[in-house]
Amino acid sequence: MNELAHTLMEIIDIPSETGGEGRLATHIAGRFLPSWGRTGVTRIGNSVVVGERTGRPLILLLGHLDTVPPQGQGPAHVAGGRVVGLGASDMKAGLAVMMQLLLDPDVVAGPYDVVGVFYDKEEGSADDNGLEPVLERAEWLSDAAFAIVLEPTDLELQLGCVGCINATVRFEGTAAHSARPWTGENAITKAGRWLAALHEREPEVVDVAGLEFREVATVTLIRGGVARNIVPADVEINLNYRFAPNRSLGDAEARLREIAADADGIEIVDRAPAAPIPEGSPYLQAL
């Protein structure tokens, strides 16, 4: 097993579900302290910044420490030539690559100030994302000439980033006993036609500066009912909408409301803007 795979398996086996990234942050900081020293390793909450400014063009490598909740996965292992485990793809493989690059003497001595940002709470809401406190504490990171987020892309360069809005979509009915359902209205089955249409909805392909983005609306959570013998009076559905960089947050919210126009209520839960495409960047051309 090569060093990169060993590092990946090591960090997969350190649990880091959103909100519980502390152990992994401590592990990563400890790996860099011997080579970078205390001036080159900064702990900000459960995030870690590795690197220093020396006056060369600043290139950022970014990756989030957290994973989605476990779903029965065991320890990291190799299967079919691939490392398998919770967060292997999203995005501990990217973290392992960042760690190897930032410990490579040729990268450290190269033409750029390459700085790694290992941040927490990416998988949660935009308001809680750990990157903002890092940028507030280490303001010099905002001087970056170029940034690479090592999310899984199947070895493709993917420029810009779709934005995201989560909304609670609500359908209302009238409670009744399940033995007399005609005396009420079932909110869950009322939502059925809209859910069925959403299930058949194809991604909307959007061209932005010659690049193809797919706008999608996905149901990710549903809650309804209070008992097995009660007709549910309401149902709440989380609608996750991803939109192309040519839409503002306002435009995207308006589009989401069009998609959920049949609902009885819509409440925006959180919003994150899309990232623009770095057109004309010499660092992109070099990459």
- Quick one: 20 and 85 in the same domain? yes
- Quick one: 222 and 93 in the same domain? no
Give domain status of residue 284, yes or no.
no
Q: What does the pLDDT look like over 48-82, one tens digit per residue?
A: 999 999 999 999 999 999 999 999 889 999 999 99
- Between the alpha carbon of residue 51 and those of residues 25, 33, 105, the distances in Å are 15, 11, 13
Domain boundary among 156, 184, 210: 156
Find the mean pLDDT for residues 32-46. 96
pTM of the model: 0.81
DSSP 195-246: HHHHHHPPPEEEEETTEEEEEEEEEEEEEE-SSTTEE-SEEEEEEEEEE-TT
Residue-range definition of the domain harbouring residue 203: 163-272
> Could you tell me which residue, 148 or 279, shows the higher pLDDT?
148
Q: Is 122 a catalytic residue?
A: yes
- Inform me whether the pLDDT recorded for 279 exceeds 90: no
Give domain status of residue 279, yes or no.
no
In the structure encoding, which two tokens stand for residue 47, read together? 């995030």
Which of 113, 122, 123, 234 does the annotation list as catalytic? 122
> Could you tell me which residue, 169 or 276, shows the higher pLDDT?
169
Q: Hey, how many other C-beta atoms are within 10 angstroms of the C-beta on 172?
A: 15
- Inform me whether the pLDDT recorded for 38 exceeds 90: yes
pLDDT of residue 244: 97
Amino acid at 44: I
- Quick one: 124 and 142 in the same domain? yes
- To the nearest whole number, what is the mean pLDDT of the chain? 95
- Quick one: 83 and 142 in the same domain? yes
- Inform me whether the pLDDT recorded for 123 exceeds 90: no
Domain boundary among 107, 135, 156: 156
- Inform me whether the pLDDT recorded for 1 exceeds 80: no
- Quick one: 177 and 100 in the same domain? no
pLDDT of residue 4: 95
Q: Is 66 a catalytic residue?
A: yes
Report the percentage of the chain scoring pLDDT > 70: 100
Report the CATH number that the domain containing residue 176 is assigned in CATH.
3.30.70.360
Give domain status of residue 20, yes or no.
yes
Total number of domains in the chain: 2
Report the CATH number that the domain containing residue 147 is assigned in CATH.
3.40.630.10
Q: Model confidence at 157, in pLDDT bands (50, 70, 90)?
A: confident
Find the mean pLDDT for residues 90-104. 97
- Quick one: 148 and 182 in the same domain? no
Q: What does the pLDDT look like over 211-260, one tens digit per residue?
A: 999 999 999 999 999 999 999 999 999 999 999 999 999 999 999 999 99
- Quick one: 130 and 8 in the same domain? yes
- Quick one: 57 and 121 in the same domain? yes
- The answer to whether the CB of 241 falls within 8 A of the CB of 217 is yes
Which of 66, 113, 120, 215 does the annotation list as catalytic? 66
- Cα(273)–Cα(251) distance, rounded to whole angstroms? 11
Domain boundary among 156, 186, 213: 156
pLDDT of residue 155: 86
Q: What does the pLDDT look like over 165-192, one tens digit per residue?
A: 999 999 999 999 999 999 999 999 999 9
